[in-house]
Amino acid sequence: MSDLPLIQADRAVEPPAATTTTGGRGRRLRLLSRTDRVVITLMVLVPLLLVTALVWLPALATVLLSGTDWDGIGPLSDIDFVGGRNYSDVLTIYPPFLPAVRHNLLWLAVLFLLATPFGMFLAVLLDKELRGSRFYQTALYLPVVLSLALIGFVWQLIYSRDQGLLNAVLGTDTDWYGDPSVNIWAVMLASGWRHVGYIMLLYLAGLKGVDPSLREAAAVDGASEVKSFFRVVFPVMRPINIIVLVVTVIESLRAFDLVWVVNKGRNGLELLSALVTQNVVGEASRIGFGSALATIMLVVSLVFITIYLATVMRGEDR
């Protein structure tokens, strides 16, 4: 979207204002009446203030708090900076931290290595002209409209020890949500169930955007379907691939509802997000720990958010 044609068009409409030879920005502003300028300012400022006050300033405050010993209750004037102590404490005297990191990484690995490729695979199959494709698609992304909290309850009917379907069918006596050696897998299966549908939807849209002549050309060259997908179609979908990667990372980092519903993120279900929350609203409120954990999440997410923005905004300023 270039600015230039618009300015020239404006000049044709309003000759007196546009005969000045100042820079582009000045010229544009001069074409706007005072009311227009006030309106534009308000249109941007009100939402910007809201987002700054409720998202960006709290994010910044989290980073600052992670370097202090604030207890969350006392007056702000009592705050002392303690440098990296919260971080070293998190590493040394906070037992749930390492399991939480491990679980978050496991979560990412399962979504990324199993759920995402499976969703992509289904999208490729559904992209063929198939009768009943609509039904298959609907069934697959139905879980996407359910909240993760609700999904926790739906799967409880399968996982519960005494009343669950799984134990009834397998003849086992496992508490799938409660046993710390299996519950993270049980929860991840439920989470993957939803993730597959979402990924399938994104790739289905991506595949429809691929120029069919590319595939035809590959077919003419004698490439097999598999080969033409990996050599031609997949590389063309690069933007979607990056978006899916970022979505998957962010989802794994944000994973919260499901474990909170099951047992508030304890006993085998530790996740960074749940630890932060426990440290704020739980019985033992440790603001320093919580902020240090939250800052770690923030930094990781910002890396991937930057990748995301670079992808989706490519060519925006041209």
Site for other proteins in 22-61 (CB under 8 A): 25, 28, 32-33, 35-36, 39-40, 43-44, 46-48, 50-59, 61
What is the closest distance, in whole angstroms, from the C-beta atom of residue 198 to other proteins in the complex? 8
- With CB under 8 A as the contact rule, the residue among 183, 191, 248, 277 that binds other proteins is 277
Query: Which residues, numbered 287-316, are part of the site for other proteins (CB under 8 A)?
Result: 287, 290-291, 294-295, 297-298, 301-302, 304-305, 308-309, 312-313, 316
What is the closest distance, in whole angstroms, from the C-beta atom of residue 65 to other proteins in the complex? 6
Q: Does 94 bind other proteins (CB under 8 A)?
A: no
What is the closest distance, in whole angstroms, from the C-beta atom of residue 257 to other proteins in the complex? 4
| Residue 287 to residue 71: CA distance in whole angstroms | 6
Please answer whether residues 231 and 223 qualify as being in contact, where contact means their C-beta atoms are separated by less than 8 angstroms.
Answer: yes
Q: Does 280 bind other proteins (CB under 8 A)?
A: yes
- With CB under 8 A as the contact rule, the residue among 80, 173, 283, 317 that binds other proteins is 317
CB nearer to other proteins: give 87 or 260.
Answer: 260
Cross-strand pairs, 81:
68
| Residue 100 to residue 115: CA distance in whole angstroms | 21
What is the closest distance, in whole angstroms, from the C-beta atom of residue 102 to other proteins in the complex? 18
Place of tokens 């992209």: 127
Query: Which residues, numbered 192-231, are part of the site for other proteins (CB under 8 A)?
Result: 193, 196-198, 201-202, 204-206, 208-209, 212
Q: Minimal CA–CA distance to 202: which of 141, 128, 253?
A: 141
Number of residues that bind other proteins (CB under 8 A): 122
Place of tokens 């582009």: 24
| Residue 7 to residue 128: CA distance in whole angstroms | 46
CB nearer to other proteins: give 47 or 235.
Answer: 47
CB nearer to other proteins: give 19 or 316.
Answer: 316
Q: Does 248 bind other proteins (CB under 8 A)?
A: no
CA neighbours within 13 Å on the CB side: how many for 78?
A: 7
Q: Does 97 bind other proteins (CB under 8 A)?
A: no
Structure-block tokens of residue 73: 């209750």
What are the CA-CA distances from residue 141 to residues 128, 134, 175, 253, 308 (Å)? 18, 11, 28, 22, 23
CB nearer to other proteins: give 71 or 221.
Answer: 71
3-state secondary structure 301-314: HHHHHHHHHHHHCC
| Residue 153 to residue 159: CA distance in whole angstroms | 10
Please answer whether residues 188 and 107 qualify as being in contact, where contact means their C-beta atoms are separated by less than 8 angstroms.
Answer: yes
What are the CA-CA distances from residue 35 to residues 24, 31, 48, 122, 282 (Å)? 20, 12, 20, 53, 50
Q: Does 90 bind other proteins (CB under 8 A)?
A: no
Structure-block tokens of residue 302: 């910002």
Query: Which residues, numbered 148-187, are part of the site for other proteins (CB under 8 A)?
Result: 148-150, 153-158, 160, 163-165, 168-169
CB nearer to other proteins: give 110 or 274.
Answer: 274
| Residue 277 to residue 264: CA distance in whole angstroms | 9
Only one of the segments 82-90, 94-102, 108-116, 189-197 lies at the binding site for other proteins (rule: CB under 8 A); that segment is: 189-197
What is the closest distance, in whole angstroms, from the C-beta atom of residue 309 to other proteins in the complex? 5
